[in-house]
Amino acid sequence: MKLILAIIQHQDASNLVDALNEEGYRVTRLSSQGGFLREGNVTLMLSVEDAHLDHVIGVVREHCSTRTRYVSPMPPIAESGEFYPPAPLEVQVGGATIFVLNAEVDRLQA
Ligand code: 2BA
């Protein structure tokens, strides 16, 4: 078994979860936050048979888009009276950041 952790953007989450559910994959959706942009994103956690790994990554790829975001850096310290507007920094976010770990799954049922 493999455990897939997929960090994706909010905008893509519902469609991707629906697509995975429709194909019979169980998914846990966690709210998370990127350390760089400090914006909310979504982390999906799902375990799959090794043979399904490539297919599931393909489904993630199909539903997650790359988007451009602009970040305003902190303005530099200037002499009084001087103003240096900082140029916004362009970053590409997504489609998805994926981690794959070896896993064992135990379901405890009372
Ligand atoms: P954030 O940390 O908010 O990063 C958002 C985007 O900002 C990143 O997109 C990347 O394009 C850019 N970025 C991140 N750190 C940067 C830096 N030090 N300098 C310049 N640009 C930087 P993605 O690479 O698509 O990452 C999207 C989200 O996936 C990240 O949100 C973070 O939550 C997660 N992530 C990405 N790489 C990770 C890693 N190696 N470990 C853990 N989480 C990761």
Residue 110: the pLDDT is: 84
Residue 16 lies in a domain: yes
Residue 108 lies in a domain: no
Pocket test for ligand 1, best of 5, 9, 37 (most atoms within 8 A of CB): 37
* Contacts (Cβ under 8 Å, ≥6 apart) of 22: none
| Beta-bridge partner residues of 29 | 44
Residue 90 lies in a domain: yes
Residue 11 lies in a domain: yes
pTM as predicted: 0.90
CATH number at residue 20: 3.30.70.120
Residue 83: the pLDDT is: 67
* Contacts (Cβ under 8 Å, ≥6 apart) of 24: none
Q: Is 3 in the pocket of ligand 1 (CB under 6 A)?
A: no
Residue 72: the pLDDT is: 84
CA of 103 to the centre of ligand 1 (A): 25
Strands (E), 9-62: 28-33, 40-48
User: Quick check: 5 and 44 in contact, CB under 8 A?
Assistant: yes
Antiparallel, parallel or unpaired: β 67-71 and 2-8: unpaired
Half-sphere exposure of 55 (CA within 13 A, CB side): 11
Residue 37 lies in a domain: yes
Task: Answer yes or no: is pLDDT of 75 > 80.
Answer: no
Q: What is the pLDDT of residues 76-100, one digit of tens each?
A: 666 666 766 778 899 999 999 999 9
Nearest C-alpha to atom 1 of ligand 1 is from which residue?
34
Domain range for 44 is 2-102
Q: What is the pLDDT of residues 9-48, one digit of tens each?
A: 999 999 999 999 999 999 999 999 999 999 999 999 999 9
- Domain count of the fold of the chain: 1
